[in-house]
Amino acid sequence: MIIENPVRVLIGKGSLCELSALLAGKKYVVFSSSGFKPRGWDRFFTTPLLIIDRVNPNPSVDDIREYLQTLGNVEFDTVVAIGGGSVLDSAKICAYLQHQDLSELMELLEGRKKLTERKRKSLICLPTTSGTGAEVTPFATVWDKANQRKLSLASPSLFPDWAVIDPELTRTLNKDTTIITALDSLSHLFESLWNRNASPYTNALGIEGVRTILDTLPLVLEDLQNLELREKLCWASYLGGCCIAQTRTAVAHSISYPLTAHLDIPHGLAAGMFLKEIYDFNKKHDVGSALAEIEARLARPAPLTLELENLFKLIDQKTELFRNIRAKKERILELVPEMINPARAGNNICHISVDDIKSILNHFPW
């Protein structure tokens, strides 16, 4: 078993206090979203050479080209990313690629050319959601919107150098975004547990992370400003990132990609909405004892499937998220043939077919 995660991590309340020391003497550029100035994140950066604060959700190939062109004439040695997974993924790619690599971008994204080990810009990631775990993974996602497909890069060269994970950055999240990103984290944790690449290491982290979210998310929804609870979600998200950095994801993510590509369903919601049904399917069809052991370690105070059912009922009570999904039922079921991504579905603990996915979706409480 090989465990590789070279990211140095500052995590917990007050971690932002260390950022100025990390940036001392650096020639740095900042990646962020349109919330950068409205949320006051600019106060953390006194001497940036450039700020790109227009990173879009689900960044496209054209977006990445634009960011690289913007960086073309800037002499910098460090990229700082502050935002959600889309911001972190965009920064990862731009820290690795150079302006002159624009012509190679599609070759890399489509796997026709491999990322090579080479010196890149230093990369510091500050997640502002508790969901993607991208600050500790060697992956980056880009969307080919013209062809409605997800493309990915994966390489040890994409591991950030530092992650600064402070719950203070997540305290402005509204209820819907809190849920969507927590479901993203929960999907990573579960996907690492029902995974052919699972190990004692990932199982230990996955079980701790799942338990933390199941115990904490309902409390956060009652007190969105609670920093102690937010810190627990940050830890769970970090654990999920550490897990999938080893195992990669599985069938929940395979199902999610066409939902985001065609219907613009937020990734965390698309990856997390069918977790109970996938768990029930895998528990029924797992020929070994892996899921039974996971159930035994997680089933408190109630059976795991009941806890998931209760969590999703609570989400239904608190938001319109699942109701909006149900309104798209017919279109979602039409996309089933596209929901087998071999690289993701192949990691599932048991074989899964298009018919199996139909069965999983039909068990969802539409």
Residue-level pLDDT at 118: 65
> Which CATH topology does 8-168 take?
Rossmann fold (3.40.50)
Query: What's the pTM?
Result: 0.96
Mean pLDDT, rounded, for 171-197: 97
Residue-level pLDDT at 288: 84
Residue-level pLDDT at 99: 67
Encode pLDDT of 287-336 as tens digits: 888 888 888 888 777 789 999 999 999 999 999 999 999 999 999 999 99
Encode pLDDT of 72-108 as tens digits: 989 999 999 999 999 999 999 999 987 667 778 888 8
Distances (CA, A) of 140 to 60, 78, 82, 312: 12, 18, 15, 29
Helix (H) and strand (E) counts in the chain: 16, 8
Contact 237, 84 (CB under 8 A): no
Q: What does pLDDT average to over the chain? A: 94
- CATH value of 174-362 in 1.10.357.10, 3.30.70.1900, 3.10.129.10, 1.20.1090.10: 1.20.1090.10
Which residue has tokens 């195992």? 247
Residue 302 has φ and ψ, to the nearest 5°, of: -130, 165
User: 232 pLDDT band (50/70/90 cuts)?
Assistant: very high
Q: What percent of the chain has pLDDT over 90?
A: 85
Mean pLDDT, rounded, for 50-55: 97
Domain boundaries, the chain: 8-168, 174-362
